[in-house]
Amino acid sequence: MKKILITALLLVLVMAAVPIVALNRLPEPGAGASSQKPPAGSSAASEKNTSSKSTASAASEKETQPVSSKTAEDTRPQSQAESKPPSKAEKQSFRVLDEATGKIEEIADKEFCVGALAAEMPPAFEKEALKAQAVALYTHFSRLREAERENPDKALKGADFKVNSEKKQGYLPKDKMKEQWKDTFDDSYKKLAEAVNAVFAQTVTYGGKLITAAYCAVSNGTTETAKTVFGKDYPYLQSVASPWDALCDGYLSTVTFTQKEVEDIIKKKWDDITLPSSPQEWFSDIKTTDAGTVSSIKVGDKTISGKDLREAFSLRSASFDAVYTLDAFVFTVRGYGHGVGLSQYGANEMAKQGAGYKEILAWYYPGTKLASV
């Protein structure tokens, strides 16, 4: 971890000088740079894997037991004597409404987790990053299930939540995986399934409750607070340094619009805005959060949020600069997504440098703990 922290500090210095690079596509899945160290002791980083601990205890008891004191259970076939009753998670299932088909399907928790991981993170990612994402996903969907069954939403028609398999949102069934991965399906599925099996039934909690496990593709180098983006504050969704994101292809992207294109987009989105005669004055008074996200920007005679402008111009994130040059507007964008919580590409770079999934989760969700269902 010392190595990771040193690397993080070096990357923070390098990021300020990173040149603008051409746009690279990434899979779709943020207050001052924090010097926070991954939590230890009470954090997710120090949580014990209770399932492996139980297995070790059982093996120890069997080895020290006298042969003459075998019980009826010990005289059964070995595979039967050593089998354990299924955990609560292994007996549970999700009721999933697929918007693509309009059907509700009941899917076992573990099987669903593999499909959810396939929809959210490339199989080529490091295994520890995949594990971290798997835990975050199981936490997310378990929280949705818990909330829905306590207070059902009629629109879900008895389902726990909705996904869209055609748009690869939330869940990817096996047939869609085969279409996407083709000849690499077997290896890709095996890798995802192994990651899920290694952490299955583990969830991220805060104060004994499942957290809102937000995640994004790539932060701008510092994750954003939930309050800034979602309007609600969570103690574990605060800004933390994520300098590893600067190593990601496509961390910086540029988008160019002609003067006419910008004018048309503005008029379509905000028909009450009056633009000055000089295009150089169309965008002004840009205000940012400590994490570098544009909180507000003046467009003509009206101040709007950075989030709204991002959506209007389909920018990768709300961390951007806008410059008028050579009769065109150039937006330079950092990161991809809302920037809150776990950064998927940041997690992958952390894993490459030796961080385990517990360290990754503890870094992006400070103050949390792991708990098994």
| Beta pairing class for 93-98 and 161-163 | parallel
Running along the chain, 373 residues long, what does each successive block of 10 average in pLDDT? 53 45 40 36 34 34 33 40 66 96 96 98 98 98 97 96 95 96 98 98 97 97 96 97 92 97 97 96 96 97 97 97 94 97 97 97 98 93
- Cα 319 from Cα 97, distance rounded (Å): 34
Token pair of 354 as six digits: 């030796």
DSSP annotation of 132: H
CB burial of residue 114 (10 Å; 0-12, 13-18, 19+): buried
What distance, in Å, lies between the first and last C-alpha atoms of the chain? 28
pLDDT at res. 88 = 82
SS3 of 202-226: EEEEECCEECCCCEECECCCECECH
- Cα 168 from Cα 176, distance rounded (Å): 9
pLDDT at res. 30 = 31
Q: With contact defined as beta carbons under 8 Å apart, do 74 and 65 qualify?
A: yes
Question: What is each CA distance from 21 to 255, 291, 339, in whole angstroms?
Answer: 11, 21, 20
Amino acid at 169: Q
Question: What is each CA distance from 4 to 7, 96, 294, in whole angstroms?
Answer: 5, 39, 29
Neighbours of 282 (CB within 10 A): 20
Helices (H), 172-273: 174-181, 185-199, 226-230, 259-269
